[in-house]
Amino acid sequence: MDIIQFVEQSIGQWRSQRSAHHMAFSHFEAVQSIIDIDMLSGNDPAVVELCQAYDVDPSQAVAPFQMKWEGQSDWDEDNPEVKGSAILVPVPDPVVPQRGKLLRDQGYAETIAAAGEYHFLDDGTFVLITAYERAAAEERIWFANPNLRFRVSLIKTSAGSGVVTASFSSEIRSSKA
């Protein structure tokens, strides 16, 4: 598995069931959402701008894409809408193509731009680690079959050993956009 295959397999519309476990108070949260993942052109002004913000030559970027999500949580009844979008730009390591950076214009944990480090495990699982100022995020995504993928996301303390929230998503492809 490399990042180009991984992004190609991810393109489309996905129906997502997400369960979040809040560690400190054993709380379960359930979120149902629709996720759209669309390929972007390498010439897209937003892609070029994100590369420049991270001092990356846009010619090193591969398979940039956009994610949009819109869902409903059962947790916060006053504000159940979960909605957002992000542009993501993979920049493979020129020497070790199994790993690289993933630039994004908006992170899950702190809604600011962030660059994460990704690599693939030997079974093709994608692992992304992103350090924020006051937290770190770890995501692992793998495909059970071409139309079903799983995602485990951890929000950790910035020191990295304490896990604040762990969430699990099952994502079923509803169309191949």
- Positions touching a second copy (CB under 8 A) are 15, 17, 19, 21, 23, 26, 28, 30, 32, 121-123, 125, 127, 144-145, 148, 150, 152, 154, 156, 161-163, 166, 168, 170, 172
- Minimum distance from residue 19 beta carbon to a second copy (Å): 3
Q: Which of 110, 164, 170, 168 is nearest to 143 (CA)?
A: 170
Q: What is the CA radius of gyration of the chain?
A: 16
- Minimum distance from residue 149 beta carbon to a second copy (Å): 11
Nearer to a second copy, 44 or 138 (CB): 138
- Minimum distance from residue 150 beta carbon to a second copy (Å): 6
- Minimum distance from residue 138 beta carbon to a second copy (Å): 8
Nearer to a second copy, 73 or 106 (CB): 73
Nearer to a second copy, 22 or 68 (CB): 22
- Minimum distance from residue 121 beta carbon to a second copy (Å): 5
143: which residues sit within 8 A by CB, 6+ positions away? Answer: 9, 124, 149, 150
Where would I find the beta strands (DSSP E) of the chain?
A: 12-22, 27-39, 65-73, 81-92, 99-104, 114-120, 126-131, 135-145, 148-157, 163-175
Tokens at 87, concatenated: 């542009």
Q: Which of 142, 134, 137 is nearest to 153 (CA)?
A: 137
Nearer to a second copy, 57 or 123 (CB): 123
Nearer to a second copy, 59 or 145 (CB): 145
